[in-house]
Amino acid sequence: MSKYHLSREPLIIAWDTSTPNAVVVAGKGEAVFSSREFKASKGHAGWLMPVIQEIIETLGINRSSIEVIAVGTGPGGYSGVKVGVTTAKALSFSLDVPLVGLNTLDIIAFGAKDVFDTIAVMIDARQGLYYSALYRSENAVPERISGYICGRTDEIINSFERQAGKEFAIVGELPPTIFKSGDNFGFPFFEGFSCPKPSATLKAASHALSEGNLASPIEVLPVYLKKPV
């Protein structure tokens, strides 16, 4: 049994700093009360807490009013993932509130679930590689139907094609050269989903909470997908 005793609809503050575009959001259920989206940069430790504090002050509450903390655990940039998760652990520990870990690809899937029945989320892992996962998205909650992978675009597409045929769309990021050549592997592609958005982050956190996916600070770990050698 969890040691945490939460209200029926607890106040959640969540953030994801795994991609170049970071987000911090606070709300209850799917209702966003306040949020900030901003360009991430090196030195996350210096600016993440001030943004979190700004959200808290905007709501006119004390930190003690926060009942749940949720954090994007990656995959993504090493520094961003590390600082985002470390900050969440520290705040969860200091406030003695539960921590919810959210895979960054899952968060993006929540935001993109209405564009197609099956979606492949892809975000840039650099060096010609991408982080990706495949989701069925026709229901209210996107269902992941593949593992989380890191690979070249063609490897990812071929793997998902074997699993889902041609019946999926790509969301997130693809190499600019693909658009210049006019070749997107023959699949629908939807831009604008290369990073978590406030509403999607809160929805993912609220769903995880409804599923009972609460953890202590020591149980939530960053996700660093191993890149192929």
Question: Contact, 23 vs 15, CB < 8 A?
Answer: yes
pLDDT digits (tens, 9 = 90+) for 58-107: 999 999 999 999 999 999 988 899 999 999 999 999 999 999 999 999 99
- Residue 139: which CATH number? 3.30.420.200
pLDDT digits (tens, 9 = 90+) for 98-115: 999 999 999 999 999 999
Shared domain for 125 and 146, answered yes or no, is yes
- Residue 200: which CATH number? 3.30.420.40
> How much is the pTM?
0.93
Strands (E), 43-162: 68-72, 99-102, 118-126, 129-136, 143-144, 149-151
Longest dimension (CA), the chain: 56
* Structural tokens at position 12: 């959640």
pLDDT digits (tens, 9 = 90+) for 171-218: 988 776 665 444 556 788 888 898 999 999 999 999 999 999 989 899
Q: How many CB atoms sit inside 10 A of residue 1's CB?
A: 3
Shared domain for 41 and 151, answered yes or no, is no
